[in-house]
Amino acid sequence: MSTPPDVAIAVPFVWTPGGTYDLRLAFASGASPVNVTVDAGTYRVNLAPTSGSVKDFLRRLQTRIDAALSGAGRAETSTVAITSLGVVTITLTGAATWTFSADLAAQLGFTSTSFSSVTSAAGVEIPRDLYLFLGGDTPGWSRREPIAGSMTAAGASYGVRSGLVTWAMEITLEFIPSDPDARTQVEEVASPWESGASTPPFGCERILSTALAQTCAFTRFWQTARTSTSEAYDLVTIAPATLAKPDVKYQFPSLTTWRQWSLPLVRTSTETR
C-alpha cells in the first residue's frame, strides 16, 4: 500500500559531530578520502530553515558535503533529499565508496553504514526525530484566552481579559501501525506506536521521551512542505500531561493493527518556513 504520509512532526535534537568524520567518501582517483562532518548544533529534520538557532539537518548535511568536496579540490556536488515516503536519499555527481558513522546512519534512517562504489545511497526507515502519519482528523486551530468574569441574574456580564491569546489544536492521528511488525505486514511507512526509542524504526515512543519542553515543527501538508521553501509549518509545543499519559487507543476495536492518537498542540508562533 505504502500510502504517502500527510502529517509530520519534527522534534529538535542536538547533534555532536564524529571525531574524524560523519561521512567518508573514498574515490578511485584524485583527492581521497573526503571526510564530512556536520557541525555541532540544534537541528530538526526537514521542517526547519537553513539558518538560525535551529536548522534543517538535511540541508546542512548537503552544505557540509559540498564544502568538503570543494575544499579537497574535487568537482563533485551532492543532493540530499527526502522522498514522499519519508526516506532520505543522498546523490553524488561521481561514484565513491561511502562510509557513514553509526550516529549519522541512525539519524538519517539508514540501516547500513557502507556503500561501495555508488553515486547514491538511500535510507530504509524514516529519519530519527521526524514523525510521519498517514492522516489526522482535526477541526483546526482555535483561539484561547484566559478570562475572569461572571454574569448577573439580569444578564449583565462583567470581568477582565488576560490579553494572553494562544491558538490550540487537537488532532487525532490515524492509522498508526501498532508495532514495526504490523507496519511491515500492511506495507506502511508511518511511524509505529510501539518501537524502541533508540533503534530504528523510531516510533511514537521517542516523541514521548524527547518532546518535553521542546518547540517542535508541525504540518498537515507535509507532501507540499517537504520540497518547498515557502510552504508554511507551525511551531508547536505538546503539553507535558499528554506526554506523560498519551491518549492512544485501537482505531478499530476488533483490529489491533492500527492505533490512533489524540494529540493536543499549542501553536507558539505564526506560520513559518
Domain borders along the chain are: 11-129, 131-267
| Grid cell in block for residue 221 | 501538508
Torsions phi, psi for 144 (to 5 deg) = -135, 135
96 contacts 172 by C-beta, under 8 angstroms: no
Structure confidence at residue 273 (pLDDT)? 55
**Which residues fall within 8 angstroms of residue 37, CB to CB, at 6 or more apart?**
17, 18, 21, 22, 64
Q: What does DSSP assign to residue 36?
A: E
Would you tell me how many other CB atoms lie within 10 Å of the CB of residue 97?
16
69 contacts 30 by C-beta, under 8 angstroms: no
Rounded to whole angstroms, the Cα distance separating 235 from 129 reads 15
Q: Which of 130, 231, 249, 253 is nearest to 189 (CA)?
A: 130
Structure confidence at residue 271 (pLDDT)? 62
Rounded to whole angstroms, the Cα distance separating 214 from 235 reads 10
Rounded to whole angstroms, the Cα distance separating 60 from 49 reads 10
Rounded to whole angstroms, the Cα distance separating 25 from 35 reads 6
Reduce the DSSP state of residue 149 to 3 states and report it.
strand
Strand partners, 145: none
Structure confidence at residue 262 (pLDDT)? 94
Task: Record the pTM.
Answer: 0.91
* Cis upstream peptide for 33 (omega within 30°): yes
With 0-12 / 13-18 / 19 or more C-beta atoms within 10 angstroms meaning exposed / middle / buried, residue 202 is: buried
* Cis upstream peptide for 177 (omega within 30°): no
Give the residue carrying C-alpha cell 570543494: 70
164 contacts 145 by C-beta, under 8 angstroms: yes
| Grid cell in block for residue 187 | 506495507
Q: What does DSSP assign to residue 225?
A: H
Structure confidence at residue 40 (pLDDT)? 97
pLDDT, mean of each 10-residue run, the chain (273 residues)? 86 95 97 97 95 94 98 97 96 97 96 96 94 90 84 84 84 92 85 85 91 94 86 89 93 91 88 60
Cα 239 to Cα 36, 61, 94, 115, 245, distances in angstroms? 38, 31, 47, 42, 10
Rounded to whole angstroms, the Cα distance separating 243 from 1 reads 30
Structure confidence at residue 270 (pLDDT)? 65
Q: Which of 259, 220, 263 is nearest to 238 (CA)?
A: 263
